[in-house]
Structure 1
Amino acid sequence: MIKKIVLIGGLIVIVLGVIFGLPLYNLHYSKIDGSEDQIIYIPTGSSLADVAAIIDETGVIEESTFLDYAGKLDFTDEKVEPGKYQITGGMKVKELVYALKNGNQEIKDTRITFSFCRDVYEMAGEVAPAIEADSAEIADYIMSSETISKYGFKEETICAMFLPDTYEVGEWDMSAEEFVQFMADQFKEFWSNEGEGRGNKLKELNLSQSQVSTLASILEAEQGLVTDEWPKIAGLYLNRVKDGWKLQSDPTAKFCWGDSLKGVQRLLDEHMKKDCPYNTYIYPGLPPGPIRIPSKKAIDAVLNAEKHNYYYMCAAPNNTGLHNFAETYSQHMANARLWWKYADERGY
């Protein structure tokens, strides 16, 4: 009889152990499915249910199971932190919940890169895949009157604040506003008078930051092959600006036509006559703003322009991408005739 009681008692203990002990064991020792590391993105404003659905899509743990564990570990809607997270293959479910709850495995290696962009909209398209804000949000925020006014630009010049490069921004969950502020800080640092002394050089040229960027954009569009020519071309344009001449830059005339002249290598007289404030064949001085987002190198080429007496340039007839420079119109016309002959022979 006593043995029977002991046996029954033992069975009761085992059953109670299974009932109460197994869930506790699972809570602390159960592992997710899969051995491969995975990356997940938790958008801003996500609820716990949203997180569970995102986790479910990875296949490492079912939505309902994750919510059950989250409830036991005090992971609530209020504690959801947006970001880019790594799920380590074979990690414990408890570790996964705590990682998301406390941000332990948030990856802060986000970098943004953009270059050779025609405008803010194209730049936003390159940046958006790297951060949470989408391209429309970024472009709309930049081009809003409030943002333009906040940073002291005009609609035509706001693109000058965005300097092409690769930047480490850390967290993935960056909003459009945070991105713009980040770029404003980079712009301020670039133009500070420390290091390269750009502030002093700017004063020497008697131009604004936006005007330098505008000239740099023309420079970059004019000579896209041999950047070593940039300082010389910049000096030529600055000579014309100083003396009140028209820049007569082909890229500015082409800019006025939008995409309709895309791929056209040789502009004709009719292309130079389109009335547009950016057309430097019609209007003297610099256009209202950049015709593309210029690189830091092009900006520095303007700030470090060569001092010379050149006022004219023409493509050299040798397919090198270089130019022949001239001080006088007669010299320039001699160079131009050589180019026209060269171009005609090749059907340009």
Structure 2
Amino acid sequence: MNVNKKKSFPFRKLAITSVVAIVAIASGVGGGGWYWWQSAIAPVEKNAQPSQELLQVQIPEGASANEIGQILEEAGLIRSITAWKVWTRWQGLWESSGGFHAGTYQLSPQASMADIAQTIWSGKVQQVSFTVPEGWTQKQMANYFEELGWFSAQEFLDATNNIPRDRYPWLPEDIPFLEGYLFPDTYQISVDQRTPEAVIGVMLNHFEASALPVYKNRTGYTDLSLDDWVTLASIVEKESVVAEERARIAGVFWNRLRDNITLGSDPTVEYGLGITQTPDQPLTYAQVETPSPYNTYINAGLTPTPIASPGLASLKATVSPEKTDFLYFVARYDGTHVFSRTLTEHLRAQAKIRDQQDAKQNSTNL
């Protein structure tokens, strides 16, 4: 169905021929003809107990005004296909399918014929929402969409392997999948757009509109590649729980990269092993020592790809980090961290936090 570019529904004044048509119909039903006409174009539920239920209808691609009227009458949304035919002729829509939009609509039987037509004309299709939190990985998104019943997790992951550089030429050349570039936020899409490709498209559009300007307008780290920026921001995202610490954590990582010290980030180990640590089950020494391209305790520099989708705050912090002397930090398990300048201070902080966790565990077991 062709998309009509008009901004509003083209209501027309009642022409003489239209008057004749309406009068002809009215006269054919006796003295109550005018009442019939008013009743036919009125909401179906007008004289009944009001219903809050919305009815879902599917308008197929290329449907004519006549076919749309049949769909609406069968769904119980309009009283008369005859009235619909007269009314759409009056509006100049009878011979043309150019004004109405295909799609799935939720319509109320209480709406008038004009309101229903306006909804379909303007393409106000049924919307659904989805939310991708900051710091989610592609696998978490895939499982989420499968739980929603939109498509399988594997279908989503397969789609993330197809880099749509023809539509998004700014995407780095050598990325194996879209990890990190699927911008986290709450979205609304048409119910008919619940496909992996459509979902990925709206998230990439949002990255282009919101994140890309931050990178292009940065004043520092001008030699930083887009992929390195997103990769480091994803690590900052996974390490940051308290917003006030985000820029400091970014500053620590920049200091370690500058001094050629491994980042030593737990989330990178977790990503490489496909696990998630908890306060009760932290990473073991064996896991930290397990070789992986993503293990930043073993490998210097950044991970091969981002490890999650960073939010705007982490992306900004990565190019505007706090200037600090800190080189280390360790989690307190309350969302905050202890920051240290030397390895000795860091080891001391680790031991103190470990003792506190052991004492807490012992008191719980009593």
In the superposition, the TM-score normalised over structure 1's length comes to 0.70
Which residue is equivalent to 1:210?
A: 227
* Counterpart contact for 2:43–2:110, Cα < 8 Å: yes
Q: Is the 8 A contact 1:280 1:287 kept in 2?
A: yes
* Counterpart residue identity of residue 136, structure 2: R
| Secondary structure of 1:244 counterpart | coil
Q: Distance in 2 between matches of 1:45 and 1:86?
A: 17
Tell me the distance in 1 between the aligned counterparts of 2:182 and 2:120.
Answer: 35
1:313 counterpart SS class: strand
Letter in 2 for 1:347: Q
Hey, what does 1:339 align to over in structure 2? 353
Amino acid at match of 2:293: P
Query: CA separation of 1:287/1:168 partners in 2, compared to 1, >3 Å: closer, same or farther?
Result: same
Distance apart, 1:287 and its partner CA: 0.7
**Pairing 1:58-207 to 2, within 5 Å after superposition:** 59-61=76-78, 66=81, 70=84, 73=88, 74=94, 80-83=100-103, 85=105, 87=107, 90-93=110-113, 95=114, 98-99=117-118, 102-103=121-122, 106=124, 113-116=131-134, 118-120=136-138, 122-123=140-141, 134-135=150-151, 139=156, 142-147=159-164, 150-151=167-168, 152-153=171-172, 154-156=174-176, 158-166=178-186, 174=193, 180-191=200-211, 198-203=217-222, 206-207=223-224
**Residue 298 of structure 2: aligned partner:** 282
- In 2, the alpha carbon distance for the partners of 1:77 and 1:253 equals 57
What aligned pairs does 1:34-49 form with structure 2 within 5 A after superposition?
34=45, 35-36=50-51, 38=54, 40=56, 42=58, 45=61, 47=63
Q: Kindly provide the CA deviation profile for residues 79-113 of structure 1, in whole angstroms up to 9, marking residues without a partner as x.
A: 651346564554444x256335533x836988764
- Higher helix proportion (structure 1 or 2): 1
Amino acid at match of 1:102: W
Do the aligned partners of residues 100 and 304 (structure 1) sit closer, same or farther apart at CA in structure 2, a change above 3 Å counting? closer
Matched residue SS, 2:267? helix
In the alignment, structure 2 segments of 5+ residues that lack a partner are 1-25, 89-93
Residue 309 of structure 2 is aligned to residue 293 of structure 1: yes
TM-score in terms of structure 2 length: 0.67
What residue is the counterpart of 1:33 in the other structure?
44
**Kept after mapping to 2: 8 A contact 1:81/1:100:** no
Gaps of 5+ in 1: 1-15
Q: Distance in 1 between matches of 2:120 and 2:235?
A: 51
Q: Report SS of the residue matched to 2:264.
A: coil
Residues 45, 82 of structure 1: 8 Å contact kept: yes
CA-to-partner distance for each residue in 1:210-265, whole Å, 9 max, x for gaps?
322222222222232x2211111111111112222211111111222324757754
Distance in 2, matches of 1:163 and 1:334, equals 38
**SS across alignment from 1:324:** strand
Asked whether the 8 Å contact 1:44–1:173 carries over to 2, the reply is no
CA distance in 2: counterparts of 1:129 and 1:107, whole angstroms = 23
CA gap of 1:96–1:20, structure 2 versus 1, over 3 A, is: farther
Query: How do residues 323-338 of structure 1 correspond to structure 2 at under 5 angstroms?
Result: 323-338=337-352
Q: Which has the larger radius of gyration?
A: 1
Counterpart Cα distance in 2 of 1:183 and 1:286: 24
**Alpha-carbon offset, residue 346 of structure 1:** 2.5
Please name the residue that 1:245 is paired with.
Answer: 261
Residues in 1 aligned to 2:112 and 2:167: alpha-carbon distance in whole angstroms: 48
Secondary structure at 1:284's aligned position in 2? Answer: coil
Identity %: 21
CA contact (8 A) 2:63 2:102 kept: no
Q: Matches of 1:278 and 1:43 in 2, distance apart?
A: 49
Given that 1:213 and 1:290 are in contact with CA atoms closer than 8 Å, whether structure 2 keeps it comes out as yes
Q: How many residues are paired up?
A: 319
